[in-house]
Structure 1
Amino acid sequence: MPRSYTGSVATDQALAGFAGGAVSTICLHPLDLIKTRFQVNASQGSPRIGGTLRSFQEIYRNEGFRHGLYRGLTPNFAGATVSWGLYFYLYAGIKSGMTVDPNTGRLGPTQHMAASMLGGALTAVVTNPFWVIKTRMCTTKKTSPGAYQSMFEGLVSLVRTEGMKGLYRGMIPALFGVSHGAIQFMAYEQLKYWRQEVKRKSWEKQFLEEVRGKVNDSISETAPGIQSSERAGISMDTETFEKLRQARLLEKKYDWETLSTVEYLCMAASSKVAATVATYPYQVLRSRLQMMNNPQSEVVYTGVIDCIRKIKRAEGIIGFYKGVAPNVIRVLPGTCITFLVYETVSAWCRNHARYGLDD
């Protein structure tokens, strides 16, 4: 049984993901709100430099801090924490049922992507109602006619006026967004694996050099067996060498799978940027389809294809990237915070494991 704090590695991962999503959402919600308002803006004007800062100042001045910059925090917090917690739970559970590569003892990039996409799709289905309410609250002022005053009121009103179908507005682009998480986690896992391999090989080299010095004889790094040396009075075959290596590993408690904070942050940021650039347009489509219908608006979207055509015709390609600036400003620190908290909580669960200690 693998070492775990709760008795299940998947549950440990869910707790870590929940904590990461909670901290990140609370810290960076204002940028999420600004991004969402940019996304649903159907004007033909191109984004201006400094628009994020000007929007921040305008919302704070006209709507205030709590009811302005932090409007929609509750559904965003619920959606983010449930998403991260459920996603990591499913992601870890799906991976545990996969067959590892016999040569490396690890899962390959394709398996990481498959686990991420399946976990992401299931998570999207469960959490979509939160995102509908969050989009509608973030794109309306608290004093606007018909605006939701709370997450609960929004859910009740949405079901009453639009039925269960309303809870799943924007579901199709949300499923497109599964590729975002898949690309992000495939890149993150691969970067982490490469760095861990570098550290492992460095430790192996150091260990070989240490043993070579003790036996006063050359050792092949490709075939680590050490032949007897009368001069040093030591006899060590391959099996003995491997036992010594394992014993030394336990003695030093050297864990090359634990990386530094800076390494985690760099890998999280790099993987997030790659995924964001590749998949951002789905977020614009989802927000447009989820926003509250405005009778005074001349733009009404009847579906995903209709939304794509109207954005392309009226706003051009740039229309699919509206809000990308505040999104990048938000996702970089947000991802770093999420993954840092996630890895920290995961490490704490491993270090304080109550199960699997005798394995």
Structure 2
Amino acid sequence: MGKKSLEEWQNDAIESTPYLASDEKGSNYREPTQIDLKGPKVETHPKVKPWVHFVAGGIGGMAGAVATCPFDLVKTRLQSDIYLSTYKSNANAALKSRYRSLNYMMEGAVHFKETCNIIGNVYKQEGFRSLFKGLGPNLVGVIPARSINFFTYGTTKEIYSRALNNGQESPAIHLLAAATAGWATATATNPIWLIKTRVQLDKAGKTRQYKNSWDCLVNVTKNEGIHGLYKGLSASYLGSVEGVLQWLLYEQMRHLIKQRSIEKFGYNDEGKKSRSDKIKEWCQRSGSAGVAKFIASILTYPHEVVRTRLRQAPVEGGKLKYTGLLQSFKVIVREEGFRSMYSGLTPHLMRTVPNSIIMFGTWELVIRLLS
């Protein structure tokens, strides 16, 4: 075959342009399509291999868990009834005596102060390491949980969009993928979260029940059986609604950020963006994950309290006090009032919002590095 002239190379390049990943799946997955810039814009994403989602999700989850572990400890203790009198009484007394007539923002400020005080007291009374109680099983749970969640979400979103919506994404596809990811994650990791909860609720000193996470696992399986590791699973399934809401809100906000980028720089033209523009968009996407988590947590938080009580498994009169999802709701509201369903909300938000920002931001960075 003879050498091609420069003009022939240029013609070949022009003819092959439509095949260079012109849409979400690229030329390896379907026929090339022409993009109508005047028509409705559809958000597209480059093809990411499933194992990249798995690895990136695990690394993102690990980074977020380590950074926010002390808030997770406080949240778990406030949700339980073991520490109810120790931690809640001071906050309630302060609200009744000084802030009863003020708005919810002031109450939130009081809870924020109380949360910081609790962290300080744990540090003084139990030592610095106690702030990271449960970090071991937390990491053992977070890494596979986030890996499974991001892997399942990314994979099923791909499958559902191709099977149900001609390869295009939509809120309905995001809903199905997020629900599937939530159920799969909850089922696979419930035993790990149960052990983490028991360890975090375990008191220090002479009353300590478990030596470590492994000892907790042995005790639970020996005394309660294998099914004991799945206490709180029904509440975890209910809690998957939070993940579904977060994914839906995150995808919509990310879509808006993408559309603004298209209007400013042209359709998917990364070459026109400066480094500061790319960092700004990355911060906006990461912040969107935090906002989505904040809204989803506010709407679905009561399930967290019920799940903690079910995993805690307190005994009253020789019988389990909490035996099921609805029964637990009724008992907690009847004995402690509806406000108790939001016990630990402040440290929960202080943990999960920055956790989501760190996790999703890290996830995107790792995807870029590995893709």
Letter in 1 for 2:173: Q
Q: Deviations over 1:52-86 (max 9, x none)?
A: 112111111111111x2111111111111111011
Of the candidates 33, 37, 42, which is equivalent to residue 77 of structure 2?
37
What is the deviation of 1:138?
A: 0.7
Which residue does 1:186 correspond to in 2? Answer: 248
Letter in 1 for 2:233: M
Q: Is the alpha carbon distance of 1:297 and 1:279 closer, same or farther for their aligned partners in structure 2, counting shifts above 3 Å? A: farther
Q: Deviations over 1:308-337 (max 9, x none)?
A: 111111221101000001111111211111
Q: Secondary structure of the residue that 2:205 maps to in structure 1? A: coil
Q: Secondary structure of the residue that 2:161 maps to in structure 1? A: coil
Q: Secondary structure of the residue that 2:370 maps to in structure 1? A: helix
Conserved? CA contact 2:60–2:361, under 8 Å: yes
Q: Which 10-residue stretch deviates more, 30-39 or 249-258?
A: 249-258
Query: For the residues of structure 2 that align with 1:296 and 1:76, how far apart are their CA atoms?
Result: 32
1:54 aligns with 2:117: yes
Conserved? CA contact 1:133–1:151, under 8 Å: yes
Which residue does 1:262 correspond to in 2? Answer: 283
Which residue does 1:336 correspond to in 2? Answer: 357
Q: Is the alpha carbon distance of 1:162 and 1:346 closer, same or farther for their aligned partners in structure 2, counting shifts above 3 Å? A: same
Query: For the residues of structure 1 that align with 2:280 and 2:312, how far apart are their CA atoms?
Result: 41
1:322 aligns with 2:343: yes
Which residue does 1:22 correspond to in 2? Answer: 62
Letter in 2 for 1:24: G
Q: Secondary structure of the residue that 2:169 maps to in structure 1? A: coil
Query: For the residues of structure 1 that align with 2:353 and 2:328, how far apart are their CA atoms?
Result: 28
What is the deviation of 1:110?
A: 1.5
Mapping of residues 1-359 of structure 1, within 5 Å: 9-41=49-81, 42=84, 45=89, 47=92, 49=110, 50-66=113-129, 68-99=130-161, 106-145=168-207, 147-204=209-266, 260-293=281-314, 300-350=321-371
Q: Secondary structure of the residue that 2:299 maps to in structure 1? A: helix
Letter in 1 for 2:328: C
Q: Deviations over 1:172-219 (max 9, x none)?
A: 0100011000000110011101110121133339xxxxxxxxxxxxxx
Conserved? CA contact 1:196–1:259, under 8 Å: no
Q: What TM-score do the two structures reach when normalised by structure 2?
A: 0.74
Conserved? CA contact 2:195–2:216, under 8 Å: yes
Gaps of 5+ in 2: 1-24, 29-46, 95-109
Query: For the residues of structure 2 that align with 1:335 and 1:327, how far apart are their CA atoms?
Result: 12
Instruction: Please identify which structure carries the higher helix content.
Output: 2
Q: What TM-score do the two structures reach when normalised by structure 1?
A: 0.77
Query: For the residues of structure 1 that align with 2:257 and 2:136, how far apart are their CA atoms?
Result: 37
Conserved? CA contact 1:136–1:292, under 8 Å: no
Q: Is the alpha carbon distance of 1:144 and 1:336 closer, same or farther for their aligned partners in structure 2, counting shifts above 3 Å? A: farther
Q: Is the alpha carbon distance of 1:39 and 1:101 closer, same or farther for their aligned partners in structure 2, counting shifts above 3 Å? A: same
Conserved? CA contact 1:142–1:149, under 8 Å: no
The structure, 1 or 2, with the larger RCO (C-alpha pairs under 8 Å, 6+ apart) is 1
Q: Is the alpha carbon distance of 1:251 and 1:263 closer, same or farther for their aligned partners in structure 2, counting shifts above 3 Å? A: closer
Q: Secondary structure of the residue that 1:301 maps to in structure 2? A: coil
Equivalent residue pairs, number = 304
State the structure with more CA Rg. 1
Root mean square deviation, CA, Å: 3.1
Letter in 1 for 2:311: Q
Query: For the residues of structure 2 that align with 1:258 and 1:98, how far apart are their CA atoms?
Result: 31
Q: Secondary structure of the residue that 1:148 maps to in structure 2? A: coil
Conserved? CA contact 2:197–2:308, under 8 Å: yes
Conserved? CA contact 1:312–1:319, under 8 Å: yes
Letter in 1 for 2:125: N
Q: Is the alpha carbon distance of 1:62 and 1:137 closer, same or farther for their aligned partners in structure 2, counting shifts above 3 Å? A: same
Conserved? CA contact 2:235–2:304, under 8 Å: yes
